[in-house]
Amino acid sequence: MSDYLRDGAAIYRQSFATIRAESDLSAFSADLEPVVVRMIHASGQTDLTDDVVATPGVVAAARAALAAGGPILCDANMVASGVTRTRLPADNPVRCHLGEPGLAELAESMGTTRTAAALQYWRDDLARSVVAIGNAPTALFALLDLIDDGWPRPAAIVGAPVGFVGAAESCAALAARNDLEFITVTGRRGGSAITAAALNALASPVE
């Protein structure tokens, strides 16, 4: 029989200890550090700290919104599937609208991706929500444009789409904002796992 660690809790403890030993977390506040640790844990990249940008109030804003029952609005089913429901403080709804009837036609009429077009279903929930965009740069660009057009601002945004076309640019656009609470990953890195990991850490301070 192979010799390997089988205790789940011990694996978590050793993983987080390794991350803290190998990563420079000195730039992050006490409440943000566990969020970044979770993001590193999801990516396996201890230098992710070089690319994480966040506002000082994002943790408090996200936790207040979730404690009040606010929804989590996701750009992709992979992000929604990565949310650990037992960590949610108020049995919060986790929504992704990619399955809406007629979405493909709506996207075609708007001249954009289905993921960006799906934001049209978010308007009534945005003001009290935590937004999680981990797949589509077009969704993050669209969200910022909608906010500029007068749509409600979400309580907090986890914006970390991944890729080679638009990912770095959309995250840079979010990082440049001074009117939103957010956490993002600049450059090409990001993705559904990192975004869901950040959400799980925001949802509960329990490591």
The domains of the chain are located at 8-203
Neighbouring CB atoms inside 10 A of 95's CB total 15
pLDDT at 49: 96
Taken in order 53, 32, 66, 191, is the CA torsion positive or negative? positive
**Lookup: tokens for 54:** 């966040």
What band does 135 get if pLDDT is binned at 50, 70 and 90? Answer: very high
User: What mean pLDDT do residues 69-80 have?
Assistant: 97
CATH of domain 8-203: 3.40.50.10230
Max Cα distance, the chain (Å):
61
Instruction: State the Cα–Cα distance between residues 184 and 5, nearest whole angstrom.
Output: 33
Mean pLDDT of the residues in the chain:
95
What band does 12 get if pLDDT is binned at 50, 70 and 90? Answer: confident
Spatial contact of 185 and 69, defined as CB atoms under 8 Å apart:
no
User: What mean pLDDT do residues 186-190 have?
Assistant: 94
pLDDT at 190: 94
- DSSP string covering 45-92, please? -GGGGGTEEE-TTHHHHHHHHHHTT--EEESSHHHHHHS-GGG-TT--
Unique residue bearing structure tokens 């945004």: 157
pLDDT at 177: 97
pLDDT in tens, 83-110: 999 999 999 999 999 999 999 999 999 9
pLDDT at 8: 81
Instruction: State the Cα–Cα distance between residues 107 and 22, nearest whole angstrom.
Output: 44
Please, which residues bridge with residue 116 across strands? none
User: What mean pLDDT do residues 157-165 have?
Assistant: 95
pLDDT at 104: 96
What band does 187 get if pLDDT is binned at 50, 70 and 90? Answer: very high
Residue in 66, 65, 22 with CA at minimum distance from that of residue 45: 22
User: What mean pLDDT do residues 61-90 have?
Assistant: 97
pLDDT at 6: 83
Report percent pLDDT > 70 for the chain. 100
- DSSP string covering 107-126, please? HHHHTS-HHHHGGGG-GGGG
Spatial contact of 117 and 96, defined as CB atoms under 8 Å apart:
no
pLDDT at 5: 77
The active-site residue out of 41, 63, 114, 189 is 41
Cα–Cα distances (Å) from 7 to 11, 38, 106, 205, in that order, read: 6, 19, 48, 22
Please, which residues bridge with residue 133 across strands? 159
For the whole model, what pTM was predicted? 0.94
Spatial contact of 150 and 125, defined as CB atoms under 8 Å apart:
no
Question: Collapsing DSSP states into helix, strand and coil, what is residue 95?
Answer: strand
**97 is known as an active-site residue:** no
Instruction: State the Cα–Cα distance between residues 37 and 33, nearest whole angstrom.
Output: 6
